[in-house]
Chain A
Amino acid sequence: MFAISSIGRKLLEKLQRRAYRHAYLAEHVRQRIAYQVRALRVQRRWNQGKLSNLLGKPQSVVCRLEDPSYGKLSVQTLLEIANVYDVALEVRFVPYSLFLQKSRDVSPISMQVPEFKDDVAVRPIKPIVVRSVSANQDQSIQSDWWVAAEDDGFSIPGTLRSNQFAGTNVHVH
């Protein structure tokens, strides 16, 4: 449960007013998008020209995307941006308590998101040794299957990410 004491007393008082609450939400959403579009571009060491090329839109559009005063983005545009950066997009309605909890950290590092290949993509490791555990056999085999590396922080320990071995418990050495 969100500790309401983690936000300031003054802010909490102002949020009781409907008009302020709605304006605060809108402003946070606009700022988050603008800052994050820029942060993701900088994270990838792209200039605005490169982003505009990849989006297939004029550079003036990229300038607007990075300007929180604009704030008239469609979900379709947000999806196009997500695709260019190869990151996921989450748009959903939530209670204010959750919004306030998640919006406390607006630091530069909180804006960064790894692209898919650095996140959850299955990477080739050849060869690998797979030892079946579920069958309780002490039998090692050679395999060319693509599996998630153990050190990528994503794989579930003991589960091989392969269609061939789906559901089979294994150790990856």
Chain B
Amino acid sequence: MLALWTIRCYVSHTGRDMIDDWYGRQSDDVRAALDVALEYLAQRPRNEWVRPQFDLLSGNMREVGEIRFKVDKQYRVLGFFGPKRSEFTLLIGASKKGNIYDPKGTLDTAFKRMCEVKTDGRSSRVCDL
């Protein structure tokens, strides 16, 4: 039961763990679904991060992937592999209906946060959900 990945969470300039904030607003059903999804993915090599549990985005967003799960509706937690080896950083949590993320601008936010994390080591920390 060796975890292959350290799961990190995005931290804002003001020091707020934005994933923990999002997580705290979710129901127990959503929290449990994400917790278990992370447990399984953390013990899997990169080539087993595949659909339906995970998928990489495409185009300019191809470095960003999303953890996928359904509770009452579809949920996505976007993140990327990094900033260091064997790390996966969660950037933003969202629900999704069709191709529409809630909150709006989820993809742009994810991309900006990924750039921050890559350039500033203080922009993420090990998740403690």
Chain A residues packing against B (C-beta within 8 Å) = 10-11, 14, 17, 19-20, 23-24, 26-28, 31, 34-35, 66-69, 104-108, 110
Contact = CB atoms under 8 A, between A and B. Distances in A.
A104 B43 CA distance: 10
A48 B86 CA distance: 30
B129 interface: yes
Interface of B: 1-2, 27-29, 31-33, 35-37, 39-40, 43-45, 48, 52-53, 69-70, 128-129
B52 A69 contact: yes
B128 A23 contact: no
A36 B44 CA distance: 13
B116 to A, nearest CB: 25
A17 B28 contact: yes
Contact of B28 (A19, A68, A107): A19
Which of B29, B32, B48, B53 has the most CB atoms of chain A within a 10 A radius of its CB?
Answer: B32
24 contacts: A10-B128, A10-B129, A14-B28, A14-B31, A14-B32, A17-B28, A20-B28, A20-B31, A20-B32, A23-B32, A23-B33, A24-B36, A27-B36, A27-B37, A28-B36, A67-B52, A69-B69, A106-B1, A106-B43, A107-B1, A107-B44, A108-B43, A108-B44, A108-B45
Contacts of A34: 52
A11 to B, nearest CB: 7
A104 B33 CA distance: 16
A130 to B, nearest CB: 43
A106 B52 contact: no
B19 to A, nearest CB: 13
B52 A23 contact: no
Contact of A105 (B1, B44, B128): B1
A28 to B, nearest CB: 5
Nearest to B68: A69
